[in-house]
Structure 1
Amino acid sequence: MAEKGMPMRFVSSRTRFSMAVVATCGVSALLAVSATADSSAAATEPRPPGSVTSGDGAVITVTTAKVGAPGNPSVGVVPFTDAVYRSCADAPATSSDCQMVGGVGYPYEIGQLEVTVEQWVAFLNTVDPEGRNRHALYIETESSSGWPKYGQVDFSADADNGSHYSVGYPEWADKPYGFANFLDAARFVNSLYNGRLISKRISNNGRFDYVTYRVRLSERTERGMYDLARPDATRAHDSGFVVPSQDEWIKAAYYDPSGGGTFSYWKYPTNPGVFGDGDATAPNPTVLNPTTGDVTNAATQPLASYHATDQPAPSWCPGQVQPDTCSTVNPIGLDPITYPDLYEGSLGTVGQARTTSPWGTLDQGGNAVEWTDTITAPPSGRDFGRVWRRLHGGISNAPAFQMWPSAVGLQPQDNVFYSHTYPWLGIRIGVIGDLTHGKP
């Protein structure tokens, strides 16, 4: 089906909003059928990384999964179809939009987890210590008062320098930051790139290799890995922190170096599934504690935070908020009947679904959709001066097909409308080359 950008207005029915959610990944969707699934082993539940404000910048900890097998084959996908192909020559003749994805010719690393609200707040207080918001990194929509159910970050004009931003409610600290556009993601990565690497520790849990970095963030956000004076910024260096590319993201989520799945690609980042069987072999949906957002059914594997057919979306609201406030108050002006129908799914605590991808990452299926740095042509063929980037991952408010490798979505990198109204846009960092201890 033809690719489409996210619609620029909300709709009032569940069916039409579901279509809008599909378009979050930038394309129309087609459901097919599925059959059996091999469940991936549940990972030991990681401790969400925290931050420490210290010196002239916060210190944060990020853990990456090592992705090897350089030179792996790509696979052909037609956007939002329930299939993969050895090459686009094998795709149906009518599939003019087939593309080859997932092949990466070098080893690299990708975040084990999504960037959390706590990490984002540490970043905000580092790069905007005076609370001036020069780069529009903060909007009132994401405050706990502006949006009781989804507000992650609060701002206080009267706070001391370096403390203007805070986590909205404590329960949000270990959830994915969900209001990002690509420029936000690039600035976060530039702060890491320009920061000081305090320590680097390599670990192995028997199946997967991880690297844990402690980094003192830098105030410098406009140049680093990405020169944001250029709207179409690409990687400026061959080593350092990055926003993953589409191929890097897809390989980490789906490519099985042991040959599982179809042409060595899984259907979901949680389990091989069966291409062609719709959502029959989709992972189980998470169930969230209604007041904390913690996953309560982690023993049910494989598992992902998404909106399964005929089941409620995983949802919660901070216990400090009255239920009627949570279900009615919103910054968009939606009425109390329409609002809870359109905004169902919530972001769960990072890593608690516990089901790993073939390389040991968590939550690449469901929770928040994630940016890549891959630039793509706009769906209409006319960019109107905007730069479009690819996204991946599905969300807690969307069906299983958004977790397929063919969910090659796209969005303008600076979509102001969705920054204000879409609380499921997340960030996962990557690393290319070799980061050296003590790098300034």
Structure 2
Amino acid sequence: MAEKRMLMHFVSRRTRVSRAVVAACGLSALLAASVTAGSGAAAAEPRPSGDGPSPGGAVITLRTAKVGAPGNPSVGILPFKDALYPSCAEAPSPSKCLTVGGVRHRYEIGQLEVTVEQWVAFLNTADPEGRNRLGLYDETESSSAWPRYGQINFSRSADMGSHYSVAFPQWADKPYGFANFLRAARFVNSLYNGRLISKRSSSNGRFNYVTYQVRLSAQTERGMYDLARPNTTRAHRSGFVLPSQDEWIKAAYYDPRGGGTYSYWKYPTNPGVFGDGDATAPNPTVLNPATGDVTNAATQPLASYHASGKPAPSWCPGQLQPEDCSTVNPLGLDPSTYAEVYQGSLSTVGGARTTSPWGTLDQGGNAVEWTDTITAPPSGRSSLRVWRRLHGGISNAPAFQMWPSAVGLQPQDNVFYNHTYPWLGIRIGVIGDLKPGKS
């Protein structure tokens, strides 16, 4: 049933009830089973005016975590099962088992999810005239259309390169939540085609990080991904990327020190115990009701998700009336249905402070994240659309969505979710050795 709900398309004539059913699918539907950096503030600098690379793009800062142990062992999983196997040969249903987590190369992955501030810097670089020719923005992302979840406002009368703005200051350091794969790939292409201004490595004694300062490019259609090809894959051996499913899983769960089960954790926050349900799940975050900042970070381990028997983490921008956040929505849902369907808000990136085995933050909970891994469509669905894997749990979903077996999939161009699902995020990766001065 969850898979069926996930595949519904937006139809304007649907009744409020049917819309609610679709929206209520939550992450459990989005991640339907299938067998088949610092926050990085964006500098307010001159923007480009052409379609190609330009030295006038906005400058953003990204921090990545280094992931080593190349050639680490993979494990077997059965989608959404509370178990882990040393190989698929040892799984009770080998034909339904997926082998995940093994990566042969060294790489880096974003310490944090891409923030709203970083995304706005990209929007004003990629679309300085505010024409939205690439479909990078939807009206439902505005604070007027969707007070509770609207992150970004658009002004047609604004100056060149300034049409998009963070809706309220509190949103600047929250994850961008309206991504599909194509939007995420265009962001990565802007990084790839941009100019690497500086690169600095650091270590806290346990984890190793790299901080990049990049001037974004307006060139978004080619770079690491050639978007003229629907089934695009990585075109280069070095540069910014979206993580693959295996890269994402390794960074979230694989413990090079041998902790967990077969060296894999159950949650990106702590080893947990496979087979115990949510008994060893992390604690849920509590958010400041007006800012979305995490207020219980001293309680570890911690993640932004909807724990059983507790309210989902939630907040409403302090500039708004609480009634607006609880009633106004672009789907036309009545207040009671809206309150039932839309639970859980995105919290400040890194606010939970609980690291994965490699030093990343928020891979468990907050926003679900795209990978560039292509997968077969669900049984009975057309193969004409390209489907990609997603991972990460979410602020409105239970603990099981943070398991390594929570292997999600979505069409890469699902416009319906652009209108209705404000929890789809981006985490970048890096392959190869990037050199400052390159563009």
Partner of 2:437: 438
Partner of 2:44: 53
Query: What do residues 82-120 of structure 1 show as CA deviations (whole Å, max 9, x unaligned)?
Result: 001001111113x52211000000000000000000000
> Which moves more between the two structures, 177-186 or 5-14?
5-14
Offset of 1:6 from its aligned partner? Answer: 1.6
Partner of 1:190: 189
Matches of 1:11 and 1:296, distance apart in 2: 35
AA in 1 matched with 2:60: I
Query: What do residues 154-179 of structure 1 show as CA deviations (whole Å, max 9, x unaligned)?
Result: 00000000000000111000000000
AA in 1 matched with 2:73: P
> Could you say if the C-alpha distance between residues 247 and 47 of structure 1 is closer, same or farther in structure 2, counting changes exceeding 3 Å?
closer
Q: Give aligned-pair identity as a percent.
A: 78
AA in 2 matched with 1:27: A
Q: Are positions 1:25 and 2:31 aligned together?
A: yes
Secondary structure at the residue paired with 2:335?
coil
1:111-122 equivalent positions in 2, closer than 5 A: 111-122=110-121
Contact 2:2–2:29, Cα closer than 8 Å, also in 1:
no
Contact 2:107–2:429, Cα closer than 8 Å, also in 1:
yes
AA in 2 matched with 1:141: T
Secondary structure at the residue paired with 1:189?
helix
AA in 2 matched with 1:222: E
> Could you say if the C-alpha distance between residues 215 and 170 of structure 1 is closer, same or farther in structure 2, counting changes exceeding 3 Å?
same
Partner of 2:351: 352
> Could you say if the C-alpha distance between residues 4 and 235 of structure 1 is closer, same or farther in structure 2, counting changes exceeding 3 Å?
farther
Query: What do residues 239-263 of structure 1 show as CA deviations (whole Å, max 9, x unaligned)?
Result: 0000000000000000000000000
Unaligned runs of 5+ in 1: 30-45
Matches of 2:136 and 2:2, distance apart in 1: 32
Q: Are positions 1:373 and 2:379 aligned together?
A: no
Secondary structure at the residue paired with 1:410?
strand
Partner of 1:107: 106
AA in 1 matched with 2:298: A
Partner of 1:423: 422
Secondary structure at the residue paired with 1:191?
helix
Matches of 2:173 and 2:144, distance apart in 1: 19
Contact 1:7–1:20, Cα closer than 8 Å, also in 2:
no
Q: Are positions 1:264 and 2:255 aligned together?
A: no
Matches of 1:351 and 1:232, distance apart in 2: 32
AA in 2 matched with 1:105: R
Contact 1:180–1:427, Cα closer than 8 Å, also in 2:
yes
AA in 2 matched with 1:296: T
Matches of 2:406 and 2:303, distance apart in 1: 16
Unaligned runs of 5+ in 2: 10-15, 47-55
Matches of 1:15 and 1:78, distance apart in 2: 27
Contact 1:91–1:98, Cα closer than 8 Å, also in 2:
yes
Secondary structure at the residue paired with 1:293?
coil
Partner of 2:81: 81
> Could you say if the C-alpha distance between residues 14 and 206 of structure 1 is closer, same or farther in structure 2, counting changes exceeding 3 Å?
farther
Contact 2:2–2:32, Cα closer than 8 Å, also in 1:
no
Partner of 1:33: none
Secondary structure at the residue paired with 2:131?
coil
Matches of 1:424 and 1:66, distance apart in 2: 26
Q: Are positions 1:213 and 2:212 aligned together?
A: yes
Normalised by the size of structure 2, how large is the TM-score?
0.93
Partner of 2:51: none
User: Aligned Cα RMSD in Å?
Assistant: 2.0
Matches of 1:339 and 1:303, distance apart in 2: 27
> Could you say if the C-alpha distance between residues 85 and 210 of structure 1 is closer, same or farther in structure 2, counting changes exceeding 3 Å?
same
AA in 1 matched with 2:129: E
Number of residue-to-residue matches in the alignment: 423
1:128-143 equivalent positions in 2, closer than 5 A: 128-143=127-142
> Could you say if the C-alpha distance between residues 14 and 356 of structure 1 is closer, same or farther in structure 2, counting changes exceeding 3 Å?
farther
Contact 1:148–1:321, Cα closer than 8 Å, also in 2:
yes
Structure 1 segments of 4+ aligned residues over 4 angstroms from their partners: 1-5, 9-20
Query: What do residues 33-87 of structure 1 show as CA deviations (whole Å, max 9, x unaligned)?
Result: xxxxxxxxxxxxx742101132411000000000000000000000000001001
